[in-house]
């Protein structure tokens, strides 16, 4: 964490008596001088030790939320990555870059639902990309920011965030237009290029007269990796990083525009999940929850208006997607919702909140689609526990690559959450226990639902076969509930 330089002490102002009649020095003067010196010393100490917080509360500022799909934190230049990302690096250099930020899910729809509602997946109820929809009436960031008088517009780049899945709740403009004629495959979904999404967002922003909230979703880094020129040749051997460099490039006009605005804009940039790129035996994302897919970039900065120039800072405060709604509401001066699990990151940045934050995560796709064991887990401090039949425990402080499973050798020797909870405060234990119970209840419900669907499909298939036996032979009927190609987005 960087520290503000002590302000250079100004020369003591000349007293009124310097040019006026000389007065007899009061015996109280030395005491007053001592008091002033002590006060100056104290304030200099405070200025030296107070953490820099380049974020201020502005009631009427705009809010720009940018979610870059499939962007692993360590791909960005400012995170030490191999993609050239000067636009986001510049943003981070004037704001706060969180070095330990995490998602709660590793696929697109559940993760965006957490970003927008401020709730964990077991609460907002979306556990996978397909088969789920946000329940009508659930409050989102758009709902809450519109209540403060802001217009709310969304511009999404892929069909997985189509309005039909319910994330349009609260937005008065939800632009999910996509090119027609694209046939989805296992890894390729209908999508819109980032420059087109940004152009649509800019047109809407330019038409606003009052404060606004815009959510811009850029899908480009998602597989298949096919960056446009010149990024295709510049990153010929590493096209994923070419996509990241391209998406950084397309953000430039949007950030330039809000920088030039007369009203300040709070810019929040994060991703819904990362990309494994072969680590831990996973090529893309969705199966596991190791750091390449669970850890996300997070940059908060204020630009435009009278925000001036800030020196950026890097924060090691654990940041979670569920913290984004409380943090954004805090910075626009809106009341904090009391029913959300997240907390504003602003007090922690100011050194006023050093309490540990436990973070829940899950990867449910393989359980729901293939019958694998449900994968849940928690981050507590720098310890990461993955709850599977063969449990995994990693100390990310010393093993960021998650190579040494401590579950067999350390304090935690079985897969019960309560063992991890024993390391935590009573409040954290309660939070963990609630998470575990809710997750198990939901998983049980999902299993039952799937079993009922499968039984119905089998019955329908049997009945059709029975009917076909008495007729001329034809093609084998396919049940209406037959699985579509799975995709992880
Ligand atoms: Zn995604």
pLDDT at position 342: 93
The predicted model scores a pTM of 0.78
Distance 423 CA to ligand 1 centre (A): 33
The DSSP call for residue 153 is: E
In this predicted structure, the answer to whether residue 355 has a pLDDT above a threshold of 90 is: no
CA of 416 to the centre of ligand 1 (A): 30
Place of tokens 């200099």: 44
Would you say residue 45 has pLDDT above 50? no
Beta carbons of 240 and 293 less than 8 angstroms apart = no
CATH number (2.30.30.90, 3.40.720.10, 3.40.50.300, 3.40.50.1010) of 45-349 reads 3.40.720.10
Predicted pLDDT at 112? 98
Q: What are the residues whose beta carbon lies below 5 Å from ligand 1 (ion)?
A: 69, 108, 272, 489
421-430 tens-digit pLDDT: 544 566 656 7
Q: Both ends of the chain: CA-CA distance in Å?
A: 34
Ligand 1: distance of its center to the CA of 59 in Å?
31
Name the residue with higher pLDDT: 395 or 482. 395
Centre of ligand 1 to C-alpha 272, Å, is 5
Does the pLDDT at position 49 exceed 60? no
pLDDT (0 to 100) of residue 424: 54
Q: Rounded CA gap, 261 and 149, in Å? A: 19
Domain boundaries, the chain: 45-349
Distance 486 CA to ligand 1 centre (A): 14
What average pLDDT does the segment 312-318 reach? 93
Q: Which of 247, 215, 252, 251 is nearest to 62 (CA)?
A: 215
Give the tens place of pLDDT for each residue, 424-473. 566 656 766 676 676 667 667 777 887 888 888 888 888 888 877 665 44
Q: Who wins on pLDDT, 37 or 485?
A: 37
């Amino acid at each position: 964490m960087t520290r503000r330089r002590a302000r250079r002490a100004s020369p003591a102002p000349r007293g009124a008596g310097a040019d006026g009649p000389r007065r007899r020095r009061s015996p109280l003067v030395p005491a007053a001088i001592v008091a002033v010196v002590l006060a100056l010393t104290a304030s200099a100490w405070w200025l030296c030790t107070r953490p820099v917080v380049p974020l201020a509360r502005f009631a009427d500022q705009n809010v720009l939320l940018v979610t870059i799909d499939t962007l692993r934190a360590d791909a960005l230049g400012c995170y030490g990555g191999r993609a050239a990302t000067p636009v986001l690096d510049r943003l981070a250099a004037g704001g706060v870059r969180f070095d330990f930020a995490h998602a709660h899910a590793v696929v697109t729809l559940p993760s965006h639902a957490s970003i927008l509602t401020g709730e964990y997946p077991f609460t907002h109820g979306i556990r996978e990309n397909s088969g789920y929809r946000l329940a009508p009436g659930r409050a989102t960031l758009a709902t809450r920011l519109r209540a403060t008088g802001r217009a709310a517009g969304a511009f999404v780049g892929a069909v997985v965030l189509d309005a039909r899945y319910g994330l349009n709740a609260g937005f008065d403009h939800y632009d999910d237009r996509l090119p027609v004629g694209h046939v989805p495959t296992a890894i390729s979904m209908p999508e819109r290029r980032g420059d087109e999404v940004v152009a649509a967002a800019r047109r809407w922003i330019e038409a606003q007269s009052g404060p606004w909230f815009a959510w811009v979703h850029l899908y480009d880094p998602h597989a298949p990796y096919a960056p446009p020129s010149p990024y295709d040749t510049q990153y010929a051997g590493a096209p994923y990083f070419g996509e990241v460099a391209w998406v950084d490039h397309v953000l430039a006009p949007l950030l330039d525009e809000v920088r030039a605005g007369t009203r300040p804009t709070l810019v929040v940039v994060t991703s819904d999940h990362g990309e494994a790129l072969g680590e831990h035996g996973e090529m893309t994302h969705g199966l596991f929850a190791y750091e390449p897919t669970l850890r996300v970039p997070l940059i908060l900065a204020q630009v435009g208006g009278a925000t001036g120039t800030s020196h950026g800072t890097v924060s090691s405060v654990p940041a979670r997607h569920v913290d984004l709604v409380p943090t954004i509401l805090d910075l626009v001066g809106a009341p904090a919702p009391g029913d959300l699990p997240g907390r504003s990151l602003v007090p922690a940045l100011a050194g006023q909140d050093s309490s540990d934050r436990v973070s829940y995560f899950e990867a449910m796709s393989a359980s729901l689609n293939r019958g694998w064991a449900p994968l849940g887990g928690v981050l507590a401090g720098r310890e990461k526990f993955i709850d599977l039949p063969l449990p995994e425990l990693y100390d990310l402080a010393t093993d960021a690559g998650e190579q040494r499973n401590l579950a067999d050798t350390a304090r935690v020797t079985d897969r019960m959450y309560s063992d991890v909870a024993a390391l935590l405060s009573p409040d954290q234990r309660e939070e963990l226990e609630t998470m575990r119970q809710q997750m198990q209840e939901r998983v049980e419900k999902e299993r039952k639902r799937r079993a009922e669907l499968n039984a119905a499909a089998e019955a329908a298939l049997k009945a059709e076969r029975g009917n076909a036996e008495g007729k001329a032979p034809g093609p084998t009927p396919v049940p209406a509930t037959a699985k579509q190609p799975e995709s992880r987005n």
